[in-house]
Amino acid sequence: MAYEARYVLRPNPGADLGTVIESLKAGAALWKKHGAPSPRFWSVASGELGSYVLTVQFENAMEYAKVTDPLSADPEFRRWQANNLQSGAFTWVRSDLMREIALP
């Protein structure tokens, strides 16, 4: 069963888009540091226009946990989260953790 984590954000009015993108690159690097296979960064083209999405895919729940448990405890990741709140450059819209359901 595949798992995918999605983190949707929207730049705040007047925010420097370069700052937003650099912050998400740094976040993706932290995911990779802890073993995420291939974080991806998306620009929303339809629906929640102006939003950006960071996705991280895993083969199963065990692989997800192997990455997220140490990531969540990493002081560098916690500083990254705090700096994002303090900067006010963007707002998290939502987060989703999805589990694939195999089709017959």
Please state the domain extents for the chain: 3-98
Note the Cα 48 to chain centre separation in Å.
16
Fold category of 3-98 in CATH: Alpha-Beta Plaits (3.30.70)
Burial 59-95 (b: 16+ CB within 10 A, else e): eeeebbeebbeebeeeeebeeeeeebeeeebbeeeee
Q: Tell me the whole-structure pTM to 2 decimals.
A: 0.88
Q: Could you report the per-residue pLDDT of 4-21, keeping only the tens digit for each?
A: 999 999 999 999 999 999
DSSP class of residue 85 equals H
CA distances from 26 to 5, 46, 79, 83 (A): 17, 25, 11, 11
d(CA 42, CA 71): 21
pLDDT class of 99 with cuts at 50, 70, 90 = very high
Residue 104: pLDDT over 90: no
Total residue count of the chain as it appears in this document: 104
Mean pLDDT of the chain: 94
DSSP class of residue 46 equals S
